Amino acid sequence: MILSVANKYEIQIGTISQANFDWLSSKNYAGWVLFADENTAELCLPRIEEFLPEDTPVIVVPEGELNKNLETCQDMWEDLFAAGVGRRWCAICLGGGVLEDMAGFVSSTYKRGIDFLQIPTTLLSMVDSSVGGKLGIDFNQVKNSIGVFNDPIAVWIDPVFLETLPLREIRSGYGEIIKHGLIADRDQWDKIKTITDLSTVDWETIIPSSVNIKREIVLEDPFEKGLRKALNFGHTIGHAIESYWLETDLRLFHGEAVAAGMIMESWLSTQLEALSSDELREITDYCLSMYGHQSIPEDSLPELLALMQQDKKNEDHRVNFTLLSAAGKARINATAEEELIVEAIRYYNGLAHA
């Protein structure tokens, strides 16, 4: 399956084969360089190694969000120089969202930009970060606060890499698939909510429709001036929870935080938009059944609210939300008072023993 993004580049979903690298060869780059993280270098690189020239420089970076920073970028830029990479080279970025955001940013700024290709290896990066051109790193304790918008020359999504992932990681990425259905495609949501076992999902079918929803939104609004904010559903509260938990021992995955965020923001949608209480119940039940429940301590509320205030999408110091007017229909640029946000969190906490 091939999805074209505004005739600028193509997203291929299916097995990566010699044909892919024949196409890359036909572009006549002066050389290829490969970025991977510690995990993908070990688990994913062997699956494509046979297609690469033996002297391809491989730059391996430490994995994880905590390393998505300027220090790692400096190492990567230095490694590119050391490998003699020139402006007519192409970087192949093999990894999850962290690696792809960072390697894409490093490529886009090295010698004012070299071409790069993305091979996402996690479900999250397949359906989310590999579409849309958002690249960057964390800075000043703010996620993705330094970066650029730039497109890869191609995205190759091969579900075979999902076999390398622990189930919890798959479940995390699945949160974005739920979100795509809820904000833009009622039919997709109706299909998704029947899924109960992530180990038996037919990814070759689910991924293309999810990627396509994101693709259509991004094409309408590449620089997040309006519609693209729809993708923020579940993320205003979700990001705050994710950041807050980063500082604690208990690690919360992105999709887990977003699932909780979607429940709370669905509750807000019943208060501020036309989402029905039946729909709220359906969303709440499904997210709880897939992600369980993680109570939010009362004493974390001030910090959570402060984190929401810092979001890039805010204007004039009001917290910006994307809410639902129905399942399958988003409404951007909603705002909520602090009291109501606190009520939403308490609604979620009240589900603990539901």
Contact string (CB under 8 A) for a copy of itself, positions 147-166, x = contact: xxx-----------------
Query: Would you say 105 or 203 has its CB closer to a copy of itself?
Result: 105
What CA–CA distance (Å, rounded) separates 322 from 328? 13
DSSP 8-state assignment for residue 349: H
Query: What are the b/e assignments for 263-290, b being 16+ CB within 10 Å?
Result: bbbbbbbbebbebeeebbebbbebbbeb
Contact string (CB under 8 A) for a copy of itself, positions 313-342, x = contact: xxxx--------------------------
- For position 30 contacting a copy of itself by CB under 8 A, the verdict is yes
Phi, psi of 323 (to 5 degrees): -115, 180
DSSP 8-state assignment for residue 36: E
Which amino acid appears at position 350 of this protein? G
Strand, helix or coil at 52? coil
Taking residue 1's Cβ as centre, other Cβ atoms within 10 Å add up to 14
- Which range touches a copy of itself (CB under 8 A), out of 71-79, 203-211, 214-222, 248-256? 71-79
- For position 312 contacting a copy of itself by CB under 8 A, the verdict is yes
Q: With CA atoms as reference, report the closest residue to 161 among 255, 102, 96, 98.
A: 96
CB of 150 to a copy of itself, least distance (A): 8
Site for a copy of itself in 251-270 (CB under 8 A): none
Contact by Cβ (8 Å): 37, 12 = no
254 token code pair: 């992105």
Query: Would you say 102 or 157 has its CB closer to a copy of itself?
Result: 102
What CA–CA distance (Å, rounded) separates 118 from 60? 15
- For position 309 contacting a copy of itself by CB under 8 A, the verdict is no
Site for a copy of itself in 95-124 (CB under 8 A): 108-113
Token match 């910090």: residue?
Answer: 303
- For position 88 contacting a copy of itself by CB under 8 A, the verdict is yes
CB of 34 to a copy of itself, least distance (A): 20
- For position 8 contacting a copy of itself by CB under 8 A, the verdict is no
- For position 145 contacting a copy of itself by CB under 8 A, the verdict is yes
What CA–CA distance (Å, rounded) separates 219 from 223? 9
Strand, helix or coil at 188? helix
CB of 27 to a copy of itself, least distance (A): 14
Query: Would you say 55 or 197 has its CB closer to a copy of itself?
Result: 55
- Which range touches a copy of itself (CB under 8 A), out of 83-91, 167-175, 262-270, 325-333? 83-91
Query: Would you say 131 or 327 has its CB closer to a copy of itself?
Result: 131
Taking residue 337's Cβ as centre, other Cβ atoms within 10 Å add up to 11
CB of 76 to a copy of itself, least distance (A): 11
Residues interacting with a copy of itself, by CB under 8 A? 30, 70, 74, 77-78, 81, 86-88, 108-113, 134-136, 139-140, 142, 144-149, 223, 312-316
